[in-house]
Structure 1
Amino acid sequence: MTVLELHIISDGQNNLDRFTEIAQNIHPYITAFHLREPRRNACELWQVVQAMLARGVPANKLMINDRIDVAWAAKLQGAQLSYRSLNVRDARAAFPGLRLGCSVHEHEEALLAEGQGADFLLYGHVFETASKPGQQPRGISALEQIAGSVKIPVIAIGGIYPDRVHEVVAAGAAGVAVLSGVTQAADPLVAVKKYAEALNKARRQ
C-alpha cells in the first residue's frame, strides 16, 4: 500500500524556537516539515535549519518554501515553490536532486506544474480555515478534480483535522498538510498521532 504523507508547515508568524522544539518531538510521524517564512532572509533560515538538525530533525524531512538555495546548500529534502518562486522547470535544472513541490490553487496550475516536473502538488485550501479569513474554500469536489487529472501526488491543505482525513484521501489526496492543527495544539505530539492514525486508517480502507 502507498504510504500517505503528513506535512507540517510553519505559519511565518510564530516563534521558530517553538517550531523547532515541536519538530524534535514529532518528526518520526512526519513526511516533511515546511519552513514557510517569507519574512526571513537566507541567513535566518539557515540558522533555523541548523538548529533543527542539531536537535535531531532529519535533513530528509525538511523543506524550505521558495528559498531553493537554502534547501540546496543544507542538503535538505527539497523546496516548496509558489507563484513567487522560480518555475519548476528552471528550479529542476538549477538544483537537480531536490524534491520539488508546487503550491497550486487551480486545475490549470496543477497541469502546468506537473508538466514542468513537480514531484508533488500542495492544493488548497480545501476547507474553511482561520489562516485564510474571508476566502471561500475550494472544497472536496475541486480536490477530486485536481487529484484525478494529474499523476503526481496531491497533498491537501486547509482546515483539515483528523476527522476530515478520510474524506480528503477518498477524494484522491496522497496526504495532508497541517499548520495550526499540530503547531498550535495543546499537545502537538498527541495531535500528530491523531493525524497519523487517521492517515493509516484511511490507507487501509
Structure 2
Amino acid sequence: MNTSELIHGVYAITPERSALWTPDAIVDCVAAALEGGVRLFQCRQKNWQPDELIEFVGQLNALCEKFDAALILNDVSSEAFAHFKGAAIVGVHLGKTDEPVAQARSRLGSKWVVGASCYNQFELADLAVLDGASYVAFGAMYPSGTKPNAVKAELDLLSKARTLGVPTVAIGGITLDRVPELISAGANAVAVVNGLFGMEPDAAQVCSAAQQWVDAVNAEH
C-alpha cells in the first residue's frame, strides 16, 4: 500500500494513559474502533518505560494486523524504532521537539513512513517534504480539548499543501460536522482523539463513534 492509500480517511490517535484510561482500556477501545471501521492509528503515549511501551505496542500491532490496519508510532525515535516489531507498524510521527525528519529518514530508509507535525506553518511542511516526510499534519484546525494551547492553523494551509505531493492530515478540535470543510479544503485524513476516546472507556460507544466517523469521511471522498 502506498502512502496516499495509507494516510487516508480517519486517523485515530490513542488516548494517553491515565487513571481512567489504563493500558487495558486503551487496547479494548482500539479494538472497538477497529470493529467500527478505523484502519489507521497512531500510538501516542508519553513517559512510558521502554519495555512496557514495547509490550503495549505489541498488543496494538496484533489488533491492527488482524484488521489489516496500519499503526504509526509517536514519541519513538528512529533509533529506538528497531525494538518495535510487528507487521502493522508502518513508521513514525515526529513533532517539533523530536529528531529532525532528515535524520529519521536517513536511519529508517525508504521503506518506512515518516510523518511530520507542521502546526500552522507551510514552510515547515515544505522543508519536511524536502527532508523526506511521507505526509504532513497541520493543526490545531479548531480549538482543541486535547491541546488547548495549540497554535491555530487556517484551512487554506490544506489547500496550499496540495502542491507538496504528499498526503495531508488535519488535526485539532475536529468534530463530525467539520469533516466536509476539511476534506473539501484538501485534507486526505482527519485525526481524531476526543471524537473517539473523549469519554469514559466504553467499547460499544467507541465502536459506534468509529462507524460515524468512517461514514462521515467516506461520504466526502
TM-score (norm 2): 0.81
Superposed displacement of residue 135, structure 1: 4.6
Q: Percent identity?
A: 25
Among candidates 140, 164, 168, match of residue 178 of structure 2:
164
CA distance 1:201–1:44, change in 2 (3 Å): same
Conserved 8 A contact 1:71-1:77? no
Superposed displacement of residue 110, structure 1: 0.4
Q: For 1:92, what is the secondary structure of its paired residue? A: helix
Superposed displacement of residue 174, structure 1: 0.4
Distance in structure 2 (CA, Å) of the matches to 1:154 and 1:163 = 19
Among candidates 32, 37, 43, match of residue 25 of structure 1:
32
Among candidates 86, 111, 120, match of residue 99 of structure 2:
86
Please identify, of 33-42 and 173-182, the stretch whose mean Cα deviation from structure 2 is larger: 33-42
Conserved 8 A contact 2:162-2:186? yes
Partner in structure 2 of residue 61 of structure 1: 70
Q: For 1:196, what is the secondary structure of its paired residue? A: helix
- Code of the residue aligned with 2:43 in structure 1: it is L
Q: Gapped runs of 5+ residues in structure 2?
A: none
Partner in structure 2 of residue 46 of structure 1: 54
Partner in structure 2 of residue 77 of structure 1: 90
Partner in structure 2 of residue 117 of structure 1: 132
Please identify, of 37-46 and 63-72, the stretch whose mean Cα deviation from structure 2 is larger: 63-72
CA displacement 1:99-137 (0-9 Å, x = unmatched): 111111111110011101111112111011112325553
Partner in structure 2 of residue 194 of structure 1: 212
Partner in structure 2 of residue 100 of structure 1: 114
CA displacement 1:43-87 (0-9 Å, x = unmatched): 121011122244x33285211103134543314111111122221
Conserved 8 A contact 2:140-2:172? yes
Q: For 2:219, what is the secondary structure of its paired residue? A: helix
CA distance 1:64–1:70, change in 2 (3 Å): farther
Superposed displacement of residue 143, structure 1: 3.3
Distance in structure 1 (CA, Å) of the matches to 2:80 and 2:192 = 22
- Taking only aligned residues, the RMSD between alpha carbons, in angstroms, comes to 2.1
Conserved 8 A contact 2:9-2:218? no
Distance in structure 2 (CA, Å) of the matches to 1:77 and 1:100 = 9
Conserved 8 A contact 2:23-2:56? yes
Aligned length: 200
Q: Gapped runs of 5+ residues in structure 1?
A: none
Conserved 8 A contact 2:12-2:192? yes
Superposed displacement of residue 10, structure 1: 2.1
Please identify, of 112-121 and 59-68, the stretch whose mean Cα deviation from structure 2 is larger: 59-68
Partner in structure 2 of residue 35 of structure 1: 43
Partner in structure 2 of residue 10 of structure 1: 14
Conserved 8 A contact 2:118-2:139? yes
TM-score (norm 1): 0.87
Q: For 2:220, what is the secondary structure of its paired residue? A: helix
